[in-house]
Amino acid sequence: MNLALVSKELREHGVVVAAAIAISTLALAGLLMQLSDLGGRFLALLRFTPTMGVLLAMVAGNRLFAREYAGKTQLFLETIPVSRLRVVLTKWALGCVAVVGTIVLAWFTNLWFIRRTEVMPIVEALPVLAVVVAFSLSLWSFAAMAGVLGRYRYMIWLAAGLGVFIATAIVDLPLTDLPLFRLLGRDVEMGIGSPPMSAFIAPIVITVTCFTVAILLTTVGSGALPSALAQRMTAREKVFVLICIATTLVVVDLIEPQPDIPPYELVDGEHVTVGRAQASVLVTPAVPTDRAHALADTLANDLDELVRTFAIVAEPRVFIVPQSGWDRWYMQRASLRGTSGIVLKAAPDVPQDMLRAHVVHSLLIDATLGRAQREDRHVLLDGLAAWWPVRQDDATRTLWWLRAAAFPDRITERHLTNWSTTSEQLGDCMSQAVAFASFEALLDTVGRERAFDLLRELYVQPPDDVRVLLEASPEDRLSAIGLEWRTLAARTEAMLVRRRVEHAAALAQRVPMSARVEVQHSKAQGYSVLTHVDGPRSYWVLHQTLGPWTGEVGGHSRFDVTGASAVLPVSPASGTRLLVAVETEDEALGCPVRITATRLEVK
C-alpha cells in the first residue's frame, strides 16, 4: 500500500465516503431504537448490513474505481512510479476498510447496546462478527468489480437485485435460504449460534471471483477495458439497455405465480368426495337432502374417473346451486372472485345428463387453461363432455343418437373444424348431439385406448408461456393415429345414416318447423326486428348485439313468444349487427332445438 496514494484518495473521496458512513450511523441508531423490543439481539445489525452495506459498497466502488477511470485520474496515476497492480490493490484495500470497517463498528455498537440490559460475553458475539464480515466482504468485492465495469455498473447491480427478487417473490424462496443470505439467519439474529460452515462457501466464492475479475480487468491489456467502459453510453447502448429492462420487467410480470386461491364453499349442502374430486349440491326445498346427495355422488364419481383416465393434475371442486323458477334447459357458470372451483346454477329439474356434461366441459376448460375450447379441438371437447356421463347408460346414449340423427344435412369436415359456426347454427342440444356422434365415430374408428391417448395429449395442462406455441395441433395428432378430420366426418356421416334408419319412426313424429327473421323500418318507429315461425305454437328468441370483431357469442337476451310472429323488444340503430336465434322445445327429441340462427346488419 502506498501512503501517498492513500492520502490522495482520502483527499479526493474522503468527504463523500464519510458522509455515507454518517448516514449509515444515523440509520443504525434508528434501527437500534426501533427494533429493540422485537426480541432479536442483533436484529438491527442484520437489517443494517444488507441495506446500508449495499449503499456504502456502491458509493465506495463508484468513487474509487468508476469515477477514477471516467475522470481520467487513473491515467495520471499510471504515469507515476507505482505499478498498476499496487494502485488497484490500494484502492481495493481502502474500500474494504470503509465498508467492512463500518460493518464491524456497527457490530460493536449493537453489542454495546445489548450490554446495556443484559450480560453478553464478547466471545458469544464473535460468530455474528464473522458472519457480517463475510457478508460485507462479499458486498465490497462485488461493488469493486461493478465499479471497474464503468457505465455498466448499475446494470450488474440491477441484475443482482432482480435475481434476488425473482428468487424470493416468484420462486417463493425465503431470503435466508439464498446462498449469501443464509449467513443472516434466525440463529445469528438471536446471537445464540452461527450458520453451518457450508454457508460460508458462497461468500468466499463471491469474494474470490469478484476480486480476481476486478484485478484482471484493471491489469490485463494495460487496463484498456476499464478505460473504454468508463465512457458515456452511446444512444444505441441506452436504447439496448432500456429494451433489456423493459423486456425483463414484462417477463417477470408474466411469470409471476398466481396466489393460492381457497375453494368456494357451500355451507348448507351435501358434500361428497371421491378420490381427488369433490362435488357439493346445495340443499333447497326443491332439491331435498337425498336428491342432493345422489347428484353430488354422481358428479364426484364422474370427475374422479375423468381425472384418473386422462391424467389431469387438477383436483376438481364442483358446486351445484339449484335456482327455482329457471328454465330447465338453462345452466350458468357463476363468476367467482377470491375463490376457486366450478359453481353452476341450474333449475332443480335440469336434465342430469346435460348437467353432468356441463360439469365435464367446465373442468376440461379449466384444466387446459382454456385451450380445450380452441376452434381446432372444440368438437372433441363437446363430444367427450356429452359422451362421458352416458358412457355406461345405453338408454340415454340411444336418445343422444336420436338427436344426432335429426341433423338434416350431411356431416362434412367443415362442420367439425368450424365448430363455433356449427354450434351457432345448431344450438346447444343439436350441436352436442353431433359432437357426441363424432366422438362415437372416433372411438369406433381407432379404438378407445388410442382415442384416449389422443385426448390425454390434448387435455394436458399446457405451459402458461411462449412454449405453448410449440405444441402439436390436433390435426397432426389425428394424423399420427392414422385419422384425418375428413375421414372422421365421413365416418360420422356413415354412422348417422344407419341411425336415421333405426330411428325413422321417432323422427317422423317431429313437427316440421321453419322460421325467418327480418328487419323493417318506418319513420315513426325506426328499425324493428321481426320473427315469423311456422310449426310450433310457442318458442323463444335469443338475441345479442355483435361487435365488429365478435366471433363465438354467449350471454344472449331471451324473449318468449306465443304465436306465429313477434317483434323483438329492441330498437337497433342503423349499422347495428345482431345475432337472432329462434328455438323451441322438440318433444320427440326431448330437448330444445334451434330452428334458425341469423346474423344480420341493420341498414
DSSP secondary structure of 478-501: HHHTT--HHHHHHHHHHHHHHHHH
> DSSP class of residue 320?
E
Q: Looking at mean pLDDT, say which of 231-240, 242-251, 469-478, 583-592 comes out highest.
A: 583-592
Q: In this structure, are residues 560 and 536 in contact, taking their beta carbons and an 8 Å threshold? A: no
Residue 540: is its pLDDT beyond 60?
yes
* pLDDT confidence band for 372 (50 / 70 / 90): confident
Task: Report the pLDDT value the prediction gives residue 92, as an integer from 0 to 100.
Answer: 84
Length of the chain: 603
Task: Report the pLDDT value the prediction gives residue 224, as an integer from 0 to 100.
Answer: 60
Cell numbers for 150, please give them.
464503468
Task: Report the pLDDT value the prediction gives residue 303, as an integer from 0 to 100.
Answer: 93
Instruction: Count Cβ atoms below 10 Å from residue 24 Cβ, excluding itself.
Output: 22
Count of helices and strands (H, E) across the chain? 21, 12
Residues whose CB falls within 8 Å of the CB of residue 221, separated by 6 or more in sequence, listed in order:
none
One domain, residues 384 and 359:
no
| Paired residues of 528 in beta bridges | 520
Task: Report the pLDDT value the prediction gives residue 80, as an integer from 0 to 100.
Answer: 58
* pLDDT confidence band for 441 (50 / 70 / 90): very high
Question: Does some domain include residue 71?
Answer: yes
Residue 155: is its pLDDT beyond 90?
no
Question: Does some domain include residue 240?
Answer: no
* pLDDT confidence band for 129 (50 / 70 / 90): confident
Task: Report the pLDDT value the prediction gives residue 158, as an integer from 0 to 100.
Answer: 79
Residue 581: is its pLDDT beyond 80?
yes
Residue 192: is its pLDDT beyond 80?
no
User: Could you tell me which of 34, 192, 193 has the C-alpha nearest to residue 113?
Assistant: 34
Question: Does some domain include residue 490?
Answer: yes
Lowest mean pLDDT among 207-216, 254-263, 590-599: 254-263
Q: What is the pTM of this model?
A: 0.61
Final residue of a structural domain among 311, 336, 367: 367
Q: Looking at mean pLDDT, say which of 45-49, 229-233, 419-423 comes out highest.
A: 419-423
Residue 374: is its pLDDT beyond 80?
yes
The whole-chain average pLDDT of the chain stands at: 83
Residue 328: is its pLDDT beyond 60?
yes
For the stretch 284-316, pLDDT in tens is: 999 999 999 999 999 999 999 999 998 888 888
Question: Does some domain include residue 254?
Answer: no
In whole angstroms, give the CA distance from residue 354 to residue 359: 9
One domain, residues 396 and 469:
yes
In whole angstroms, give the CA distance from residue 454 to residue 448: 10
Question: Does some domain include residue 251?
Answer: no
Overall average pLDDT of the 420-440 stretch: 93
Task: Report the pLDDT value the prediction gives residue 257, as an integer from 0 to 100.
Answer: 55
Report the number of distinct structural domains present in the chain.
Answer: 4
Higher pLDDT, 253 or 590: 590
One domain, residues 44 and 88:
yes
Final residue of a structural domain among 476, 509, 542: 509
One domain, residues 559 and 495:
no
Question: Does some domain include residue 457?
Answer: yes
Residue 231: is its pLDDT beyond 80?
no
Percent of the chain with pLDDT over 70: 85
One domain, residues 356 and 386:
no
Q: In this structure, are residues 427 and 356 in contact, taking their beta carbons and an 8 Å threshold? A: no
In whole angstroms, give the CA distance from residue 1 to residue 85: 10
Task: Report the pLDDT value the prediction gives residue 176, as an integer from 0 to 100.
Answer: 72
Question: Does some domain include residue 217?
Answer: yes
One domain, residues 544 and 476:
no
One domain, residues 570 and 554:
yes
Lowest mean pLDDT among 263-272, 518-527, 539-548, 549-558: 549-558
For the stretch 29-84, pLDDT in tens is: 888 777 666 556 777 888 888 888 888 888 888 877 777 666 555 555 555 556 77
Strand 277-282 relative to strand 269-274, pairing: antiparallel
Task: Report the pLDDT value the prediction gives residue 68, as an integer from 0 to 100.
Answer: 67
One domain, residues 49 and 68:
yes
One domain, residues 131 and 97:
yes
Final residue of a structural domain among 341, 367, 393: 367
For the stretch 97-125, pLDDT in tens is: 888 888 889 888 888 888 777 777 787 78
* pLDDT confidence band for 603 (50 / 70 / 90): confident
One domain, residues 67 and 203:
yes
3-state class percentages of the chain: helix first, strand second, coil last, to nearest 5: 60, 15, 25
One domain, residues 354 and 375:
no
Distance in Å from the first CA to the final CA of the chain: 90
What residues make up the domain containing 285?
261-367
CATH number where 575 lies: 2.60.40.10
Question: Does some domain include residue 252?
Answer: no
Higher pLDDT, 458 or 506: 506
One domain, residues 281 and 317:
yes
